[in-house]
Amino acid sequence: MKNTDLLAIAEEFGSPVYVYDTEKITNQYKRLTKAFKSVNSLKLNYAVKALSNITILKLMNSLGAGLDTVSIQEVRLGLEAGVAPQDIIFTPNGVSMEEIESVADMGVQINIDNLSYLEQFGTKHPEVPVCIRINPHVMAGGNSNISVGHIDSKFGISIHQIPHILRIVENTGMHVNGIHMHTGSDILDIEVFLYAGEILFETAKNFKDLEFIDFGSGFKVPYKEGDIETDVEELGKKLSKRFNEFCKEYGRELTLGFEPGKFLVSDSGYFLAQVNVVKQTTSMVFAGIDSGFNHLVRPMFYNSHHTILNISNPKGKERFYSVVGYICETDTFATNRKIPEITEGNILAFKNAGAYCFSMASNYNSRYRPAEVLWHEGEAHLIRKRETFEDLIQNQVPTTLFSNEEELVASK
Ligand SMILES: *Cc1c(COP(=O)(O)O)cnc(C)c1O
């Protein structure tokens, strides 16, 4: 997308606004499928939590992706988007048994990640095939927020508990059709990932009727120049080869699954916000925008870097700015960042705003969540309206408590 396209969108739909470029999503999808082209059966289930707009889910479905969901509400969004229940996998953590049963009733693939529920579910519904989420205890990436394979993680059933899993499966007569892992958000070292894969293959041999092995996600995308990204082509080459060998050993063609979120949508997204004020202090120049961590929390929550463009003045002389929000708390998007000269009223574009940006937005400070726009084949389509004051109050129940007396009398 060109700067001028983004500017036109900010003008037409106002700010702040999220924009997603379908071409980038499509290219990422194709890149991943191409990397694994030598695998007989590949299934990419898009992780809905990254960006859950129904139009995005429809796009994923049209590309051939299934969905990876973590709540019954995400499942319902998927069904609303027209995705078939058999193309949806439910990989929750810590949700209620009722929720799991309701989702199973919808015909969605269940993925169970604790022994207690495996036993309960298997006892009640031995006929419903389930996938089992394994924790191989392999560290992927260094940030403990996003490494979910380590020993203290709440995710998955420990690899050391395989004997207990097998006992439950035998006792209940349940049917295990898939093995799953999701080790963390960053596959940086392909050898480490392949090692986790070996653990999964070893585990898989214990189950006779598998249909798929799901390797979760963790594809790292670059956020700035020089960032390391997952070499999906190399991973594709090595894992495909090993997977095909394993299928031979296993004696049956299995489906290789992944659940990419960030990889498919991160780079497709732009977040556009307007500069309200340029404020010089004794130590810094602040650019204060009409947004905050209510709309884009990743920089504050994960310390993530989002490249910031001044699309109103792209050729301007570069100066150093700290870009901050309008929330009454520290909400710094970027500190001491070189950006083409900013004047009040300029529109800034944050890159990599497709994944975990809108989907983590809130109404904090009683602000409206932004609009979302899809850029498809050179045209902008509104795919979510900006909220209004009605949205803020629609679920609040008015009472006469604490109203002053005159009003009470008047209302009688
Ligand atoms: C969040 C999540 C994903 C997606 O992770 P990305 O880093 O966005 O690709 C995949 N699988 C599960 C189970 C998840 O919880």
> What is the CA(213)–ligand 1 centre distance, in A?
15
Nearest CA to ligand 1 atom 6: 261
> What is the CA(184)–ligand 1 centre distance, in A?
8
> Long-range contacts of range 197-204, CB-CB < 8 Å, 24 or more positions apart?
197/239, 197/242, 197/243, 198/242, 199/134, 199/136, 199/138, 199/159, 200/134, 200/136, 201/242, 201/246, 203/134, 203/159, 203/162, 203/179, 204/179, 204/246, 204/250, 204/254
pLDDT in tens, the chain (412 residues): 999 999 999 999 999 999 999 999 999 999 999 999 999 999 999 999 999 999 999 999 999 999 999 999 999 999 999 999 999 999 999 999 999 999 999 999 999 999 999 999 999 999 999 999 999 887 655 444 444 566 677 889 999 999 999 999 999 999 999 999 997 657 888 888 898 899 999 999 999 999 999 999 989 999 999 999 999 999 999 999 999 999 999 999 999 999 999 999 999 999 999 999 999 999 999 999 999 999 999 999 999 999 999 999 999 999 999 999 999 989 999 999 999 999 999 999 999 999 999 999 999 999 999 999 999 999 999 999 999 999 999 999 999 999 876 665 555 5
Ranges assigned E (strand) in 212-268: 212-214, 255-258
334 falls within a domain: yes
Which residue among the candidates 131, 247, 328, 357 is catalytic per the annotation? 328
> What is the CA(91)–ligand 1 centre distance, in A?
10
Does ligand 1 come within 6 angstroms of the Cβ of 352? Answer: no
* pLDDT at residue number 146: 42
Query: Is 312 exposed, middle or buried, given 0-12, 13-18 or 19+ CB atoms closer than 10 A?
Result: buried
Asked if residue 366 and residue 222 are part of one domain, the reply reads: no
* pLDDT at residue number 405: 63
Q: Which of 210, 244, 264 is the last residue of a domain?
A: 264
- The Cα 115–Cα 158 span in angstroms is 10
Asked if residue 241 and residue 112 are part of one domain, the reply reads: yes
In b/e form, how buried is each residue of 373-390, taking b as 16+ CB within 10 angstroms? bbbbeeebeebbebeeee
Asked if residue 255 and residue 277 are part of one domain, the reply reads: no
- The Cα 53–Cα 31 span in angstroms is 22
Chain Cα centroid distance, residue 365 = 24
User: What's the N-to-C CA distance of the chain in angstroms?
Assistant: 60
Sign of the CA dihedral running 394, 399, 403, 407: positive
* pLDDT at residue number 82: 98
Does ligand 1 come within 6 angstroms of the Cβ of 260? Answer: yes
Asked if residue 296 and residue 245 are part of one domain, the reply reads: no
Does ligand 1 come within 6 angstroms of the Cβ of 88? Answer: no
> Domain total for the chain?
2
Q: Helix, strand or coil for residue 75? A: helix
Asked if residue 243 and residue 271 are part of one domain, the reply reads: no
Nearest CA to ligand 1 atom 4: 261
- What kind and span of H or E run contains 61? helix 54-63
233 falls within a domain: yes
393 falls within a domain: no
Asked if residue 341 and residue 258 are part of one domain, the reply reads: no
Does ligand 1 come within 6 angstroms of the Cβ of 183? Answer: no
Query: Is 76 exposed, middle or buried, given 0-12, 13-18 or 19+ CB atoms closer than 10 A?
Result: middle
- The Cα 261–Cα 306 span in angstroms is 17
219 falls within a domain: yes
> What is the CA(395)–ligand 1 centre distance, in A?
31
Residue 328 is among the residues annotated as catalytic for this protein: yes
Asked if residue 258 and residue 307 are part of one domain, the reply reads: no
Q: Helix, strand or coil for residue 307? A: coil
- The Cα 214–Cα 181 span in angstroms is 6
Sign of the CA dihedral running 163, 168, 170, 176: negative
Longest alpha-carbon distance in the chain = 82
The residue to mutate among 111, 259, 262, having the most atoms of ligand 1 within 8 angstroms of its beta carbon, is 259
The residue to mutate among 147, 182, 352, 357, having the most atoms of ligand 1 within 8 angstroms of its beta carbon, is 182
406 falls within a domain: no
**What's the CATH number where 318 sits?**
2.40.37.10
- The Cα 57–Cα 46 span in angstroms is 8
Does ligand 1 come within 6 angstroms of the Cβ of 262? Answer: yes
409 falls within a domain: no
* pLDDT at residue number 192: 84
* pLDDT at residue number 3: 96
**What's the CATH number where 60 sits?**
3.20.20.10
> What is the CA(334)–ligand 1 centre distance, in A?
26
97 falls within a domain: yes
319 falls within a domain: yes
User: Counting atoms of ligand 1 from 1, which one is nearest the CA of 91?
Assistant: 13
Does ligand 1 come within 6 angstroms of the Cβ of 259? Answer: yes
Percent of all residues in the chain with a pLDDT value above 70, rounded to a whole number: 94
Asked if residue 104 and residue 250 are part of one domain, the reply reads: yes
Asked if residue 332 and residue 288 are part of one domain, the reply reads: yes
Domain that includes residue 170, residue range: 22-264
* Partners of 280 in beta bridges: 285
Asked if residue 260 and residue 119 are part of one domain, the reply reads: yes
Asked if residue 323 and residue 226 are part of one domain, the reply reads: no
Asked if residue 167 and residue 56 are part of one domain, the reply reads: yes
Q: Which of 264, 296, 313 is the last residue of a domain?
A: 264
> What is the CA(35)–ligand 1 centre distance, in A?
19
Does ligand 1 come within 6 angstroms of the Cβ of 359? Answer: no
